[in-house]
């Protein structure tokens, strides 16, 4: 774990008795990559900004096991009770923080867990973990481009068909398949050999009957979710990073073929048949009635496609003649529908249980039109990961090869200031509006009272009714069971 605290000197300095709110960051990376030491998660800026607006907080970033080390699953792993080790790593870190953060000047009753992408999905799983019993480990959750729903978790029913073949392949590759105890054999495989054997596979959390006792959608339907405040959102054009495309992401561990569990995203989308095949493969297979309905909801009309707002241009050189159609439906299924379902469910809880709920949509294209790691071919618009540079105020000195940073334009830094301060305000007060920026910034309404999103844009952030792509998002919300989400 990494800790960043305000300086001890000055009125906002920290001491053992300060009882400051705590921001806990869980990084993303498709559950196969990432680190709390990634300089793009600039928690030092967050803490310094919290002092500037007189809402000092402590920031903690945690590591967890990834890929085969964190999420390998099989009948052997299940029998040993060692599924979802990566999620248990996160939970153990939260318990340690709860028990020890007072010694760092933090308040264990004022912890907010936050994450983006796989980190956002992880936060979502902590909301449903152990049937919603969070034992006071956190009072609030921030989810960026990730949530409890979506396809980033497998049902137990897919253990034999999805995960066992992966496990068997790995054990064979590292010469453990003939061992009496293959799992014990794996424990003694050198790091590099195991890494190379697991690298071809995208390995995700599974409903293990313990950490995740049921599918997240079932937990929500039964009200078995943590009683905490929520701030959740997505980026408008999430899947210009994940749709089938001719030019893959430069992040070799998040390629189109591996980006989404249950989707065979290799190749391109040129025809209705290509799109129909793509839809039919979601999470192990959807029936013809559902596939046909989704085809109707996402017609071959580039004006309605992603990247949004780009008119009749098809960008077929990127991912085929129907690339924009695929990017729109994949983004809704993975990100947007889950965000909407999550905030709606929390907002509709009985009044005596309801905590603050805030929803956002990030709608700003990177300054140079691309997101170097995720979507290096323009136009990517407000793609996956593109909000991170604003939340953490990434400038060239902490970017990767001068990529994925805010850019040279002053107005982009103003957007960054607004976003980071809103996050700080939520961590400190459970209200993102106390950011201290008074000019041209609308009030961000509680979703429970308004059913509205805050839309982040350079120079023109606005509040909108949450009816963007309403028909499509509501349909995905009706078929969570078939999606095994």
Q: Which residues are catalytic?
A: 117, 238, 402
Q: How far apart are CA 251 and CA 248, in angstroms?
A: 8
Tokens describing residue 122: 């992880």
Asked if residues 20 and 13 have their Cβ atoms less than 8 Å apart, the reply is no
Tokens describing residue 137: 């480990």
Residues with Cβ within 8 Å of residue 385, at least 6 apart in sequence: 28, 116, 117, 145, 235, 241, 371, 373, 374, 404
Strand partners, 453: 359, 464
Alpha helices for 408-466 (secondary structure H): 410-429, 447-450
Asked if residues 37 and 169 have their Cβ atoms less than 8 Å apart, the reply is no
Tokens describing residue 163: 């995960």
In the numeric block, the tokens 């806990």 are attached to 24
Per-residue buried b or exposed e for 52-76, using 16+ beta carbons within 10 Å of the residue's own CB: ebebbbbbbbbbbbbbbbbbbbbeb
Asked if residues 417 and 390 have their Cβ atoms less than 8 Å apart, the reply is no
Asked if residues 272 and 300 have their Cβ atoms less than 8 Å apart, the reply is yes
Q: Put residue 177 in one of left, alpha, beta given phi > 0 → left and psi -120 to 50 → alpha.
A: alpha
- DSSP codes of every residue in 234-302: EETTGGGTTS--SS--SSTTS-TTTSSTT----S---SHHHHHHHHHTGGG---HHHHHHHHHHS-S-G
Q: Give CA separation, 5 vs 8, 60, 244, 262, in Å.
A: 8, 9, 42, 41
Q: How far apart are CA 385 and CA 27, in angstroms?
A: 11
Tokens describing residue 216: 């997240």
Alpha helices for 53-144 (secondary structure H): 67-71, 75-79, 85-100, 118-128
**If we measure between CA atoms, which residue out of 444, 472, 447 comes closest to residue 456?**
444
Containing 316, the helix (H) or strand (E) segment is helix 316-319
In the numeric block, the tokens 């005596």 are attached to 352
How many helices (H) and strands (E) the chain has is answered by 19, 9
């Amino acid at each position: 774990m990494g800790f960043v605290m305000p300086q001890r000197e000055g009125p906002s300095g920290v001491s053992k008795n300060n009882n400051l709110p705590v921001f806990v960051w869980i990084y993303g990376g498709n559950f196969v990559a990432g680190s709390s030491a990634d300089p793009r998660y600039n928690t030092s800026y967050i803490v310094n900004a919290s002092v500037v607006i007189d809402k000092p907080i402590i920031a903690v970033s945690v590591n967890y096991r990834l890929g085969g080390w964190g999420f390998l699953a099989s009948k052997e792993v299940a029998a040993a009770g060692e599924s979802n080790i990566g999620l248990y790593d996160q939970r153990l870190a939260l318990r340690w923080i709860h028990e020890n953060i007072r010694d760092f000047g933090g308040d264990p009753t004022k912890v907010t867990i936050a994450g983006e992408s796989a980190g956002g999905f992880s936060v979502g799983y902590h909301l449903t973990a152990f049937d919603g019993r969070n034992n006071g480990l956190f009072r609030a959750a921030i989810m960026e481009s990730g949530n409890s729903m979506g396809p980033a978790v497998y049902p137990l029913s897919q253990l034999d068909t999805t995960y066992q073949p992966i496990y068997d392949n790995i054990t064979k590759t590292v010469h453990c398949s003939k061992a009496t105890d293959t799992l014990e054999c794996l424990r003694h495989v050198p790091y590099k050999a195991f890494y190379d054997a697991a690298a071809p596979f995208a390995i995700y959390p599974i409903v293990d009957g313990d950490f995740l006792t049921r599918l997240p959608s079932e937990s929500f339907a039964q009200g078995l979710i943590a009683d905490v405040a929520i701030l959740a959102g997505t980026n408008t054009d999430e899947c210009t990073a994940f749709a089938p495309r001719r030019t893959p992401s430069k992040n070799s561990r998040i390629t189109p073929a591996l980006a989404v569990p249950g989707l065979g995203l290799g190749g391109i989308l040129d025809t209705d048949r290509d799109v129909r095949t793509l839809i039919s493969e979601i999470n192990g297979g959807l029936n013809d009635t559902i596939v046909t309905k989704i085809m109707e909801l996402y017609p071959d009309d580039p004006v309605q496609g992603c990247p949004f707002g780009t008119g009749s241009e098809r960008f077929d050189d990127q991912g085929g003649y129907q690339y924009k159609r695929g990017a729109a439906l994949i983004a809704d299924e993975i990100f947007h529908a889950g965000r909407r379902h999550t905030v709606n469910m929390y907002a509709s809880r009985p009044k005596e249980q309801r905590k603050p709920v805030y929803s956002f949509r990030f709608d700003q294209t990177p300054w140079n039109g691309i997101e170097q790691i995720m979507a290096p071919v323009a136009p990517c618009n407000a793609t996956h990961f593109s909000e991170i540079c604003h939340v953490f105020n990434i400038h060239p000195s902490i970017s990767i090869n001068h990529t994925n940073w805010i850019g040279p334009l002053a107005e982009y830094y103003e957007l960054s200031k607004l976003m980071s301060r809103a996050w700080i305000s939520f961590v400190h007060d459970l209200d993102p509006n106390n950011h201290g920026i008074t000019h041209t910034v609308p009030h961000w309404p509680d979703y429970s009272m308004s059913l509205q999103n805050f839309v982040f844009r350079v120079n023109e952030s606005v509040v909108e009714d949450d009816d963007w792509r309403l028909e499509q998002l509501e349909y995905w919300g009706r078929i969570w069971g078939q999606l095994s989400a």
